[in-house]
Amino acid sequence: MIVNQFLVLAALLFSIGIYGVLVRRNAVLVLLSIELMLTAVNINLVAFGQYLQDALVSGQVFALFVITVAAAEVGIGLAIVILIFRNRSSANVDELDLLKW
């Protein structure tokens, strides 16, 4: 096995995630795509950790941190989506233009 096969796979998953984030209108689906991107990052972290044979196992430890933070992010993200849905009866991101000038 070589490192790059994992890295390229991760890059592919990450790009698919980007596509999802950019193209999906439903906020829940956008969050799903973000999960894909985070998974790709985790693959990278673990692969690098393995490659470097780090005594601190930091690659895996950070993958664990990412998983934890991702769980928190999903919880908050879904709560926000639900809140928005309740206020606007829609969970479509393209109808949310509060950032507009």
Please give the residues from 59 up to 88 whose contact with another protein meets the rule CB under 8 A: 59-61, 63-65, 67-76, 78-83, 85-86
Apex 36 CA angle, 85 and 55, nearest 5 = 130
Residue 13 has which token pair?
């998953």
Least distance to another protein, CB of residue 16, Å: 4
Q: How far is the CB of 66 from another protein (least distance, A)?
A: 10
Report 27-66 residues binding another protein (CB under 8 A). Answer: 27-33, 35-36, 39, 42-43, 46-47, 49-51, 53, 56-61, 63-65
In which region does residue 54 sit, left (phi positive, over 0), alpha (psi from -120 to 50) or beta (all else)? beta
